[in-house]
């Protein structure tokens, strides 16, 4: 295509010209710090979640470190209007994560407030979640959880404010006896995930697991 010739896709790290379906070149891909977590075994996210709510399994694809390439990947998705990055990250997950015969019943991503979603133009987790849903053959629901309050991005809030978590969530319908896989981009304090998890756990005999693109140690 003419546009591809005039404005070729480039690696977000080194600026090399790459295929239009890619985000990072093969050389830079080797510099991403993947966690190599086992979804069913103990890891730092499970340890933190257990202090906040009963959790079944947890998984993070990447380490979210200062000046880390994974941080640049997440920022491309959230702040640079590159929604398709979610599909690319999901593909990386499918190459590393297997649920074996213990798949969750439903994929649910952390919602944006309707005002925030309109400002950004998309929820950065939707295409990611839908891609996982298709690959693993697990249904998703983008509307099960509602964010009731609008606030500035968590990345722009100081740690003390994030811990207060003034945002509250609610269920839009009854749900019971389901194993829900909660999906978010970055796991930091676990406060947001915990708030949503308790809404789900208190609604009935449900179970909650967690999957995030990256974990901030």
Residue 217 has pLDDT above 90, yes or no: no
pLDDT at res. 137 = 97
Residue 167 has pLDDT above 80, yes or no: no
Asked if 23 and 76 touch (Cβ cutoff 8 Å), the reply is: yes
Work out the pLDDT band at 151, boundaries 50, 70, 90.
low
Residue 154 has pLDDT above 80, yes or no: no
pLDDT digits (tens, 9 = 90+) for 28-74: 999 999 999 999 999 999 999 999 999 999 999 999 987 889 999 99
Residue 3 has pLDDT above 50, yes or no: no
Question: pTM here?
Answer: 0.88
Work out the pLDDT band at 79, boundaries 50, 70, 90.
confident
Residue 10 has pLDDT above 90, yes or no: yes
Higher-pLDDT residue of 148, 181: 181
pLDDT at res. 156 = 47
pLDDT at res. 68 = 86
Count of CB atoms within 10 A of residue 3's CB? 8
DSSP 112: P
Q: Which residues of 155-169 are buried (b: 16+ CB within 10 A; e: fewer)?
A: eeeeeeebeebebeb
Residue 80 has pLDDT above 90, yes or no: no
Which domains are delineated in the chain? 1-30 (no CATH), 32-215 (3.40.50)
The residue count of the chain comes to: 217
H-helix segments, 51-169: 69-79, 85-94, 114-120, 126-136, 159-164
Q: Smallest Cα–Cα separation from 73: which of 32, 37, 19?
A: 32
Q: How many CA atoms lie within 13 A of 214 on its CB side?
A: 22
Q: What is the mean pLDDT of the chain?
A: 89
Percent of the chain with pLDDT over 70: 89
Range 116-136 average pLDDT:
92
């Amino acid at each position: 295509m003419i546009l591809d010739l005039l404005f070729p896709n480039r690696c977000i790290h080194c600026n090399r010209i790459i295929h239009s379906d890619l985000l990072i070149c093969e050389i830079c891909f080797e510099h991403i710090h993947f966690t190599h977590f086992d979804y069913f075994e103990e890891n730092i996210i499970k340890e933190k979640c257990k202090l906040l709510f009963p959790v079944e399994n947890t998984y993070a694809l990447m380490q979210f470190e200062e000046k880390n390439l994974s941080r640049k990947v997440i920022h491309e998705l959230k702040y640079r209007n590159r929604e398709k990055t979610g599909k690319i990250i999901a593909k990386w997950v499918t190459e590393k994560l297997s649920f074996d015969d213990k798949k969750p019943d439903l994929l649910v991503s952390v919602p944006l407030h309707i005002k925030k979603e309109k400002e950004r133009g998309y929820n950065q987790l939707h295409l990611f979640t839908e891609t996982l849903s298709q690959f693993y053959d697990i249904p998703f629901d983008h509307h099960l959880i509602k964010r009731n309050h609008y606030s500035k991005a968590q990345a722009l809030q100081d740690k003390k404010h994030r811990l207060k978590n003034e945002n509250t969530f609610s269920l839009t319908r009854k749900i019971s006896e389901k194993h829900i896989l909660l999906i978010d981009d970055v796991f930091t304090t676990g406060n947001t995930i915990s708030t949503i998890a308790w809404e789900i756990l208190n609604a009935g005999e449900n179970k909650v697991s967690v999957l995030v693109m990256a974990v901030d140690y």
